[in-house]
A = this chain, B = another copy of it.
Amino acid sequence: MTQGVGDLDLSVGYALKQAAVALRTAMDAGLRPLGLSVSQYSCLELLGQRPGLSAAELARGTFVTRQSMHAVLLGLEERGLLERAAAAPQGRALPTQLTQAGREILAQASGIVAAVEGRMTAALSAAEKRRLLADLAGCVAALSGDREE
């Protein structure tokens, strides 16, 4: 046993990586006119949907480390797209909110990204989309949670 990976064309992992790269590339190209990176957009989008999140919460929501999110936040704050509380109202977490400029650029970016995602899933019916979502969620759960058995 201890068989290898086998034909790459039959590997879910290979296809997953390919799809993720294709999506990231398409988003990057679409967002470039706005001067936003995918990471910056992800941060804005999450913050737009859930105002007041802290840096650590934003990091978990965008699947990066606190340190990476910290750098992203510094850039966005310098551009005036978001504001961070100067002092922590509780604990050490500093709540973050979009500024008016941030909301405006997010609206544009969100439309662009929605178009990209729409193009990506155009060939899928609503039911197929839900199925794909469920499959991906299952893969995530299988990888992150259970450690042996």
Contacts and interface: CB of A to CB of B under 8 A. Distances in A.
B113 A12 contact: no
Contacts of A2: 107, 111, 114
Interface residues of A, number: 57
Interface of A: 2-8, 10-13, 15-27, 45-46, 49, 61, 63, 106-107, 110-111, 113-114, 116-117, 119-124, 128-129, 131-133, 135-140, 142-144
B113 A18 contact: no
Number of copies: 2
A60 to B, nearest CB: 11
Interface centre among A7, A133, A137 (most CB of B within 10 A): A133
Contact of A8 (B27, B49, B131, B137): B49
